[in-house]
Amino acid sequence: MACHVRQEDRTFASKPSQKTGLLDLRLTQLVDDHGQTVFSTAFRILGNASDAEDVTQDVLIEAFLKVENHDITNLEGWLRKLAVFRALDFRRKLRRESVIPLEADAAISHSASVHDAVVCAETAERLRCAVTKLPERESVVFSLRYFEQQTNQEISSLLGISSAAVSTALHRAKTKLVAFIQKPQSEAEK
């Protein structure tokens, strides 16, 4: 049964303004152009699609609200950086709430044993947790380098720091992460 609505039967609480339409269009364009990049960045850090979607939504809304008031020369880089910050914040919040994610991201071949799969998933989760315990600069630099495969020069440009500072932050991060990962599980959770 087809439903026909006459034009005069339609009622609107308020007619959208032209400005609202332009804002909707710009938000849609931002999501279309950069949503996947933001999601991928968040997912690599969080390892959970649902959490990454939440972070993606927060990042895109924050970016939409801030982009006009900031002089941003590299929007994609700025969005990646913002996604890293928000994903790390999200993980810290989860840790404070003592929520343990049920899903773990594990790069496992089909022929790997169940034991290998569990070890890989556990190690990936411990790494993600350890990254959130690093000082902010080290966690951001490490995340951009290894989760986003950015070069040191790209990170330098994105964060506005020297390449030497990037290298130093990476070295410190790796040293701390190795120490954290090598600790027994019970000791590392403290």
Q: Of 71, 2, 75, which Cα lies nearest the Cα of 33?
A: 75
pLDDT tens, position by position, 112-146: 577 777 777 787 788 888 888 889 889 889 988 88
What domains are there in the chain, each with its CATH number?
Answer: 30-185 (1.20.140)
Least confident piece of the model among 29-38, 105-114, 132-141, 180-189? 105-114
* Rounded Cα distance, 53 and 59, in Å: 10
3-state secondary structure 88-113: HHHHHHHHHCCCCCCCCCCCCCCCCC
**Percent of the chain clearing pLDDT 90 (strictly above):** 22
**Percent of the chain clearing pLDDT 70 (strictly above):** 75
Residue-wise burial string across 152-190, b where 16 or more C-beta atoms lie within 10 A, e elsewhere: bebbbbbbeeeeebbeebbebbeebbeebeeeeeeeeee
With contact defined as beta carbons under 8 Å apart, do 26 and 67 qualify?
no
Please report which residue ranges of 67-162 form alpha helices under DSSP H: 75-96, 114-133, 136-142, 152-159
Contacts of 117 (CB under 8 A, 6+ apart): 106, 108
The CA R_g of the chain, rounded to the nearest whole Å, is 21
Mean residue pLDDT across the chain:
77
Q: Please state whether the predicted TM-score (pTM) of the whole model is above 0.75.
A: no
pLDDT tens, position by position, 92-104: 887 666 444 434 4
**8-17: average pLDDT:** 39
pLDDT tops 90 at residue 46: no
Q: Of 53, 57, 147, 150, which Cα lies nearest the Cα of 107?
A: 147
